Amino acid sequence: MGGGITLNHFLVLSLIIFSLGLFTVLTRRNAIGILMGVELILNSANINYLAFAFYGGGKYDGQIFAIFVIMLAAAEAVIGLAVVLAIYQNFKTIDVDAAETLRG
Amino acid sequence: MDLGNLASLKHFIPEMILVAGVLAIVLIDLAVRDKSRLGALALIAAAASLLAIGLAPALPGAWLFHRMLVFDSFAIYFRTLIALAAVVAIWMSIGSEEVKNCDQGEYYAILLASTFAMFLMAESANLLMAYLALEFVSLTSYILTGFLRHNRRSLEAALKYLIYGGVASGTMIYGMSWIFGITGSLDFNVINKALSTPGHLPVLAVFIALVLILTGMGYKVASAPFHMWAPDVYTGAPIPITTFLAVGSKAAGFALLTRFFFPAISHLAAGGSWTALAGVDWPQLLLFICMITMTLGNLAALQQTNMKRLLAYSSIAQAGYALMGFVVLSNDGIRAMLFYLFAYYVMDAGAFVVVMIVANSTGREDVDAYRGLAWRGGIVPALALTIFLFSLTGIPLTVGFIGKFYLFAAVIRGQFYILAIVGILNSVVSLYYYLKPIQMMFFEQPRGDEGTVRFEAWNYGLMGVLACATIVFGLYWSPIISFANRSLSFFTGPT
């Protein structure tokens, strides 16, 4: 175990990253920026899984979950960027407010 | 029973049929030049999967694939419902003008894959599996929503769906990580045992984790406050996909929600009532969510002028009604919810079929396109839509009425009187917007610029079947309720 670093340090770090991710999603108007915020949220969960697995003693469930999250984040980014690209071709912008025709 | 990989396969036939269908479509898409038969192939795969579910031998319950999935009668109910939703969605896709010009191979392969993912969602017995299945459904839904690549509304809907979905599932796995940290396991059954061990349970942490998890699952069933995506996505997506999301995805969401909140973190007491964890007051929270969902859905639907959008808000309200069965924490309630989801499937899919028939002929989806529909060649769709909308309101002689009756009976038996009053008031409010299209179709004269509605045997057939089902199951509902009754057992380990 690293000198003086406990589970709580990791949990606080992941909470900070989670909050930053949520803040990014709520404040950004650029589609790519929002997708980056989503990545931050996913990675904050990853830190939690790894920390719990490390301090919880010898179980691989946490690591496996983190690997799957990384893989799915990649898949989601692929689809996200494909949609953003198609949006750009049609709207000539990737600002989510400008690309808004559905309301009510 | 805890089955290994090979032994699990014989309970996994419906899913394997779907996967075989996906592979066959992808391969045939490469080989043949004429893509028009691929839809029929997808329809056959979905129907064969439905048949396999029906023919499967009864089994008390088992864990599949080393406790990743669970196979029990509850799973069978939802597999049936989801397979039925897939059959309707594929049938509609074949008869839809919208998806005719899309890439047929990809479209049907992804649709079948999405069905497969929904099956997995209904069977998850592990947080990792639940997340993977939910994300699998989401990813395929994003693609299907944005499938009309040159249609701005379709793309915008896909982007909104993607953003809301990404945030919701991210928040959900963050909550799951806390549950993992508290209990040391991802397995629903182990989580249940760990949480019910008396002693130092961090009540607040569990509650926050559950709220975070509810974000992801609530987003799938489109309950408030995670419903914002639904109107936009339902409006922008091609109509068959809207139907699939409205009935299939929602049913899968309810399955996962029930599986997580009942067998995984609550306990079944004598007399069929469930007790939540002491000190963790999620039922109260869900009670509020349920009331807000139906009120918000109904109030927002009042001012809609687009039929798909109106039905989207209506489906949010319907999810609120179905949640009524959830919050009473009893097997009575769950049974009512199961029955209501079936009723909702029949009537909502039917309403969307009529919307598609009108859109196929006129290219319009707004309520004005329905002006005098009965007097310009559309008397049959007009009558069918009337049946579906009456059923959605909950007027007697329809399956929607029976569904609501069971829900309210469960709510009153559980002594949730305020919830019952809110539910009834909501039904009254919903009458207004459900009657508006009916009034438009029968009591207004066409202006002449709406165009005629042509006869399409394929779509009229589906519409007729669903309309008949709405009436028949409204008069003779005992097969469905006894099916729901049989489906109340959750497999939680050998007894």
Q: What is the DSSP string of B425-481?
A: HHHHHHHHHHHHHHHHHHHS---S-S-PPPP-HHHHHHHHHHHHHHHHHHH--HHHH
Chain B environment of A11 (Cβ under 8 Å): 181
Nearest to A86 among B132, B146, B177 (CB): B146
The mean per-residue pLDDT over the stretch B15-19 comes to 97
ipTM of the complex: 0.94
State how beta strands B267-268 and B62-64 pair: unpaired
Residue B448 backbone dihedrals phi, psi, to 5 degrees: 110, -15
Q: Give the confidence band of B169 by pLDDT, cuts at 50, 70, 90.
A: very high
DSSP characters for B108-121?
Answer: HHHHHHHHHHHHHH
CA of A52: which chain B residue's CA is closest? B181
Nearest to A99 among B146, B156, B177 (CB): B156
How many other C-beta atoms lie within 10 A of the C-beta of residue B250?
Answer: 28
Read off the amino acid at residue B138: S
B178 vs A: CB within 8 A: yes
Q: What is the mean pLDDT of chain B?
A: 93
8 Å CB contact of B181 and A52? yes
Give the pLDDT score at B269.
Answer: 85
CA of B306: which chain A residue's CA is closest? A104
8 Å CB contact of A31 and B128? no
Q: Which residues pair with B126 in a beta bridge?
A: B187
Residue B24 contacts by C-beta under 8 Å, 6 or more apart in sequence? B41, B45
How many other C-beta atoms lie within 10 A of the C-beta of residue B417?
Answer: 10
Q: How far apart are CA B72 and CA B215, in angstroms?
A: 26
Nearest to B185 among A61, A84, A101 (CB): A61
CA of B151: which chain A residue's CA is closest? A90
Give the pLDDT score at B56.
Answer: 83
8 Å CB contact of B142 and A79? yes
Give the pLDDT score at B58.
Answer: 73
Chain A environment of B173 (Cβ under 8 Å): 42, 45, 65, 69
Give the pLDDT score at B446.
Answer: 86
In 3D space, the residue among B146, B135, B89, B134 whose CA is nearest the CA of residue B112 turns out to be B89
- State the sign of the Cα–Cα–Cα–Cα dihedral B174, B176, B179, B184: negative
8 Å CB contact of B127 and A65? yes
8 Å CB contact of A68 and B132? yes
pLDDT at residue B383 greater than cutoff 70: yes
Nearest to B177 among A52, A64, A72 (CB): A52
Give the pLDDT score at B491.
Answer: 87
Read off the amino acid at residue B483: F
Helices (H) and strands (E) in chain A, counts: 3, 0
Q: How far is CA B174 from CA B69, B127, B137, B210, B464, in A?
A: 22, 12, 19, 10, 46
8 Å CB contact of B163 and A56? no
The mean per-residue pLDDT over the stretch B198-210 comes to 87
Enter the pTM of the model.
Answer: 0.95
Q: How far apart are CA B76 and CA B298, in angstroms?
A: 31
8 Å CB contact of B162 and A102? no
Nearest to B173 among A37, A45, A101 (CB): A45
8 Å CB contact of B156 and A35? no
Q: How far apart are CA A2 and CA A19, in angstroms?
A: 26
CA of A101: which chain B residue's CA is closest? B153
Reduced to 3 states, what is the DSSP secondary structure of residue B268?
Answer: strand
CA distance A23 to chain B (A): 11
pLDDT at residue B495 greater than cutoff 70: no
Q: Give the confidence band of A99 by pLDDT, cuts at 50, 70, 90.
A: low
8 Å CB contact of B166 and A38? yes
CA distance A4 to chain B (A): 20
8 Å CB contact of B177 and A18? no
B366-398 burial, b if ≥16 CB within 10 A, otherwise e? ebebbbbbbebbbebbbbbbbbbbbbbbbbeeb
Tell me how many degrees the CA angle B86-B392-B258 measures, rounded to the nearest 5. 60
Q: How far apart are CA A75 and CA B266, in angstroms?
A: 34
In this predicted model, what pLDDT tens digit does every residue of A52-87 receive, in sequence order? Answer: 999 887 678 899 999 999 999 999 999 999 999 999
How many other C-beta atoms lie within 10 A of the C-beta of residue B205?
Answer: 14
How many other C-beta atoms lie within 10 A of the C-beta of residue B415?
Answer: 9
CA of B312: which chain A residue's CA is closest? A104
Q: How far apart are CA B340 and CA B347, in angstroms?
A: 10
Q: How far apart are CA B481 and CA B451, in angstroms?
A: 42
Residue B13 contacts by C-beta under 8 Å, 6 or more apart in sequence? B52, B56
* Residue A35 in tokens: 């997708």
Q: How far apart are CA B147 and CA B216, in angstroms?
A: 24
Residue B62 backbone dihedrals phi, psi, to 5 degrees: -160, 155
- Give B483: exposed, middle or buried? Use CB within 10 Å, 0-12, 13-18, 19+: middle
Q: Give the confidence band of B80 by pLDDT, cuts at 50, 70, 90.
A: very high
B66 vs A: CB within 8 A: no
8 Å CB contact of A22 and B303? no
8 Å CB contact of B163 and A96? yes
